[in-house]
Amino acid sequence: MKILVVGGGGREHAIVKKLAQSKKNPKIYVAPGNAGTEEIATNVAISVMDFDSLVNFAKKEKIDLTVIGMDDPLVGGIVDRFEAEGLRVFGPRKNAAILEGSKAFSKDLMKKYGIPTAAYENFNDPQKAIKYLETANYPIVLKADGLALGKGVLICKTFEEAKSGIEELMIDKSFGDAGNTIVIEEFLQGREVSVLSFVDGTHYALMTSAQDHKRAKDGDEGLNTGGMGTFSPSPFYTEEVDRYCKEHIYQKTVDAMRAEGREFKGIIFYGLMLTKSGVKVLEYNARFGDPETQVVLVRMENDIIDVFEACIDGCLDKIDLKFEDNAAVCVVLASDGYPLKYEKGKKITGLENFEGKTDIFAFHAGTKKVNDDVVTNGGRVLGITATATTLKEARDKAYEATKLIDFENKYMRNDIGMSIDSKD
């Protein structure tokens, strides 16, 4: 069996590692991949948005299954292109990927179908948005409608902050066309939890819960990033929360998309806020999270190819999704200066310390091979992940493992998973 994975980050490295464990013994290609995927698969130098070249490669190599890891190609319609050529592909079509591609769409969907979320208004005129802010309660949240690498959300404590935020998003276009429309949303307080699910158009199967740390610096200070670390499961995702979400959120979302003529097959990622007045949906993603995938897939017991195929074929209800009764923590090693300005090309040492290990992993995100060296090639460089019996043990083990790796401008948060101390 031949499989193509589209993407080149830590999420894709985690997917490739899981695919490599399949009893089907697949030959795996990754476009474009990174230095980590190169160790266990064949990297192909094709951009994730070069749909023509990806389709041609899949046809030429007789690829049996393509797995789309990233949001941009999904929102751009890569699944539709593959299906039009008779190619088997895992991920939502363009009209379903809008669930992530447009925050205004997803908020309107939740309002229409009674899915709990924060109160909001959509704006495509900056002056009207600023006028609305004059009577708003603070803090308040501004969200770029389109894709912004996980960074298009601003939490504003005052009118002045919010006004400059609107100027940044809508006038200065700091995230390009993603800010043509913005969502202004009430600020919710509580604990955030991430829940990933496989979806086959009709049924869903929940993966284990996780919690991401978005801010660049300790204590949740600094700018929003793509994610500085995560842990799984979340002790705050209780049986009571699970029951509520199953009744009011998960199936309702799948049914709503089908009712809108936007059948969803692939991954729905739920960003949830556990507030005093109940669980609310903060956002949807239409693919595996990064770095949530790194802590979720290392705990999954199933053959992932079976699950991908069940989603495509509409028979996910026949799969008994199972996860180990353990815990995982991922600490992201970044380039100092991320998410703003940082240097690339720094030599990474110590990767050999992870070879053959089954409880610590170095998932490559921003890396590449230069001659015989592995060097940094992005803001988030590696996701150092550890599994153990408890979250606290996994956290200690992950931080110990970060000491095994070195590169010149290595940076990390030192408080990933600290919130678990408040709840055993």
* Residue 365 is assigned to a structural domain of this protein: yes
Cα–Cα dist 48/287, whole Å: 14
Q: In this structure, are 218 and 333 located in the same domain?
A: no
134 and 200 assigned to the same domain: no
Q: Is residue 92 within 8 Å of 286, Cβ to Cβ?
A: yes
Give the mean model confidence (pLDDT) for residues 232-258.
97
412/401 Cα distance (integer angstroms): 13
Residue 174: its pLDDT value, please? 84
Kindly state whether residue 110 falls inside one of the protein's structural domains: no
Q: Let me know whether 281 and 366 are in one domain.
A: no
Residue 149 has pLDDT above 80, yes or no: no
Residue 17 tokens read as 């590692």
Q: Each residue of 345-364: pLDDT tens digit?
A: 999 999 999 999 999 999 99
Is 198 a member of any domain? Answer: yes
Joined together, the tokens standing for residue 226 give 């793509």
The answer to whether position 380 is within a domain reads yes
| Same-domain pairing of 266 and 345 | no
- Number of domains the chain contains: 4
336 and 303 within one domain: no
Q: Which residue has the tokens 């993966």?
A: 207
Tell me: do 161 and 197 sit in the same domain. Answer: no
Prediction pTM value: 0.94
In a shared domain, residues 89 and 21 = yes
Beta bridge partners of 237: none
Tell me whether residue 155 is in a domain.
yes
Q: Which residues contact 125 (CB under 8 A, 6 or more apart)?
A: none
Q: What is the DSSP string of 193-224?
A: EEEEEEEESS-EEEEEEEEE--EEEGGGEEEE
Residues 207 and 298 in one domain: yes
Domain finish residue from 294, 318, 342:
318
111 located within any domain: no
| Same domain assignment for residues 403 and 340 | yes
Indicate the residue among 273, 289, 318 that finishes a domain.
318
- CATH number (domain holding residue 42): 3.40.50.20
Does residue 99 form part of some domain?
no
How would residue 424 be classed by pLDDT, with cut points 50, 70 and 90? Answer: very low
Question: What does the pLDDT read at residue 130?
Answer: 94
Within a domain: 112: no
pLDDT in tens, 57-110: 999 999 999 999 999 999 999 999 999 999 999 999 999 999 999 999 999 999
Residue reference for tokens 């990927």: 97
CATH number reported for the structural domain that contains residue 392 in this entry: 3.90.600.10
pLDDT over threshold 70, residue 423:
no
pLDDT digits (tens, 9 = 90+) for 296-307: 999 999 999 999
Region 314-339: what's the mean pLDDT? 97
Same domain, yes or no: 222 and 307: yes
Q: Same structural domain for residues 358 and 285?
A: no
How far apart are the C-alpha atoms of 315 and 109, rounded to whole Å? 25
pLDDT, one tens digit per residue, over 192-228 is 999 999 999 999 999 999 999 999 999 999 988 989 9
Q: What mean pLDDT do residues 171-187 have?
A: 91
* Full residue range of the structural domain in which residue 180 is found: 119-186
- Residue 208's domain is classified under what CATH number? 3.30.470.20
Helical H runs in 77-228?
Answer: 78-84, 94-101, 103-113, 126-133, 159-166
* Degrees, nearest 5: CA angle 215-216-217: 100
371-396: average pLDDT: 97
CA distance 387 to 372: 30
Q: Shortest CA distance to 245 belongs to which of 200, 292, 194?
A: 194
Q: Are residues 351 and 275 in the same domain?
A: no
Tokens of 176: 């390009």
Residues 190/275, Cβ–Cβ less than 8 Å:
yes
